[in-house]
Chains A and B, each alone.
Chain A
């Protein structure tokens, strides 16, 4: 037991300050209202307060802090995307993540593991080579490696995958890491709160007032607020907030499931992803294997889990690691993912003045938390999209200039 803990045990007044305080009531008006107290919304609040001096900010959430996709993802951070726009964006995020624990003064358990995306056939290998070259061009440590390199980094793997789909190579991405996801949300919440941001949990937004094409206020379950700027950071519920602002949605909601095994001794250093088998895994600091697969087969606005998911995942996972046959699944869960047609996010300004969007985060949102906060804070403060997110605007679907990230964003977290 640590001395610090003992000190608290004998202290009559609990000396540790709360991480954030919630005022008893909402103010009459705020400069900015952020919908969604997940990592993205809280990061945006933090950067608005600390980089732009915009402190009269309310962050509202219908549930609890970090209880949506921030607490449901599989915590992987990487930047080995396919399009130059995606690579530049996620690279900035990885760099912010690497110094975030110091900046927020919280242990994020940031653990750099290396990330292998396996190829089981020639066509996948070709896409991985393409990704490696785009990555290298932008100074990112990604390279194509052979089956022997995979075996060296992970001796337990069955390279033949039960003789069904032998591993022919992999994309190796050295900066690939896992992070404690709750800590990211809590770290941003504490720092934002210390800078004057007000965080309200269990406060649902029921309507957005738009007058003559401009945002004028927000209706909530705790009353009305006047504001000229609203940021929606509610991946999983984006279509509903878009509808409140009178906008149509390019985003569909599809469940994404994940599961963990019982804890075991550390044996898996890298993060292993197989796009062809539609599965991926890493081992957490607790020893559990954190495993995921592709999204569910159809739209559904619910966080239910299914037996089909876990049996299909186990079937494929045992091809990669036959020795896991006796290991038990401990928990499984689901999040609602904002799927976009091109597997890239939807960010920036919208057709309604003062209504900003940080959405379309499908299965790739956690790793972008810091950079989304930073770029959305810029966008809201200057009313102009940050250069890193110019390509992610909703208008790209009207212009038919989509950003094909499917091969890099699907499954491979």
Chain B
């Protein structure tokens, strides 16, 4: 069973987390159609990516940097604690 070694809540089964997709840094501030449309487009090739993940039992949100070619997790940070840096 795949697990995430989280610095905040310890080693937890990956199944307890829900992936909410690429991090866009914070809430979308620009409400224009162009800004909303831009969310659909990105670099979806295999690489290390910053993603939003929700941990259901603890109701905590994390930003996880994960290699989408190998599924290896590089860093796990609490969303509230990390700077609002969107996935490149």
Contact = CB atoms under 8 A, between A and B. Distances in A.
Interface in B11-25: 14-15, 18-19, 21
A307 B44 contact: no
Contacts of A239: 43-45
Interface string B12-42: 0011001101000000000001101100111
A398 interface: yes
A297 interface: yes
A252 B49 CA distance: 12
A347 B51 CA distance: 28
Interface residues of B, number: 25
Contacts of A243: 43, 45
In the A-B complex, the 4 residue pairs with the smallest Cβ-Cβ separation, listed nearest first, are A239-B44, A301-B46, A248-B41, A298-B19
A302 B69 contact: yes
Report which residue of A297, A299, A304, A397 has the largest number of chain B beta carbons within 10 angstroms of its beta carbon: A299
Contacts of A251: 44
B71 A397 contact: no
Nearest to B34: A398
B41 A400 contact: no
A250 B70 contact: no
Nearest to B47: A301
B81 interface: no
A240 interface: yes
Interface of B: 1-2, 14-15, 18-19, 21, 33-34, 36-37, 40-46, 49, 51, 66, 68-71
Contacts of A307: 1
9 contacts: A238-B44, A297-B18, A302-B69, A304-B71, A308-B15, A398-B34, A398-B37, A398-B40, A400-B37
A306 to B, nearest CB: 8
Nearest to A311: B1
Given A253-B44, A299-B68, 5 more contacts: A298-B51, A299-B49, A301-B45, A307-B1, A341-B40
Contacts of B33: 400
Contacts of B18: 297
Given A308-B15, A400-B33, A252 B69 contact: no
A302 B70 CA distance: 7
Contact of B37 (A249, A306, A397): A397
Contact of B44 (A252, A297, A400): A252
B40 A250 contact: yes
Interface string A232-274: 0000001110010000111111000000000000000000000
Contacts of A153: none
A402 to B, nearest CB: 9
Interface residues of A, number: 25
| Residue among B14, B36, B45 having the largest count of chain A Cβ atoms under 10 Å | B45
Contacts of B44: 238-239, 249, 251-253, 299
B68 A397 contact: no
Contacts of A324: none
A106 interface: no
Contacts of A399: 37
A300 interface: yes
Contacts of A304: 71
A249 B46 CA distance: 12
A248 B2 CA distance: 31
B68 A300 contact: yes
A400 B42 CA distance: 16
Contacts of A302: 69-71
Contacts of A341: 40
Nearest to B53: A298
Contacts of B14: 297
Interface string A303-317: 010111000000000
Contacts of B49: 299
A250 B37 CA distance: 10
Contacts of A397: 37, 40-41
B60 to A, nearest CB: 17
